Amino acid sequence: MSKPTEQAILDELRTQFQQELLEAKVTRDRRIFIEVSPRAYKPVMDYIVRTMGFTHLSTMTGLDSTEGFEIMPHLSRGGAVLTVKVRVARDNPMVETITDLIPGATLYEREIHDLVGVVFRGHPNLERLILYEGWPEGVHPLRKEYKAVQPEPLRRV
């Protein structure tokens, strides 16, 4: 896929969603990144999946940016990877599920729910997936306040 195609994808999204599209860039061949406002997240995803044909969800990244959280589904179509970013407030980390659009998102959303602590509204089953049953509620390892165990520094003996 060449540059014009990536540009065409961006143009189509810009005309469709205008100011709801907060950021849009092409970083290299076949790599497109966009950011959408939280209320436009579901309609944008619907359009991207059902109309534009980005039907393969590679994965979803959850990220703690200290001010809030970012949820990023990475979708692909014919080699092009489209990353959609949506920001979620820290005090009420909640976002719409996309499992109804892409059933393949089920485990990825559960993983983020476990490790970052974002709730996906409408998810069929948000049970624990990775952390074990006895893990304390409200502790999410991928949040920045959670400190991982540091290995001991090497020393000469």
Q: Which residues are near other proteins by CB under 8 A?
A: 27-28, 30-31, 33, 55-59, 61, 63-64, 72, 74, 76, 78-81, 83, 102-108, 111, 115, 128-136, 139, 141-142, 146, 148-152
Sign of dihedral through CA atoms 98, 100, 102, 106?
positive
Report the residue number, 16 or 76, with the smaller CB distance to other proteins: 76
CB 136 to other proteins: min, Å: 6
Q: Note whether 141 and 115 are within 8 A (CB).
A: yes
Report the residue number, 3 or 39, with the smaller CB distance to other proteins: 3
Measuring CA to CA, which residue among 5, 47, 51 is closest to residue 26?
5
DSSP letters, 120-145, are EET-S----SSS-TTSPTT--TTSTT
CB 65 to other proteins: min, Å: 8
Report the residue number, 41 or 83, with the smaller CB distance to other proteins: 83
User: Using CA atoms, how far apart are residues 76 and 93, in angstroms rounded to an integer?
Assistant: 26
CB 1 to other proteins: min, Å: 8
CB 154 to other proteins: min, Å: 11
Tokens at residue 13, please?
Answer: 């999204």
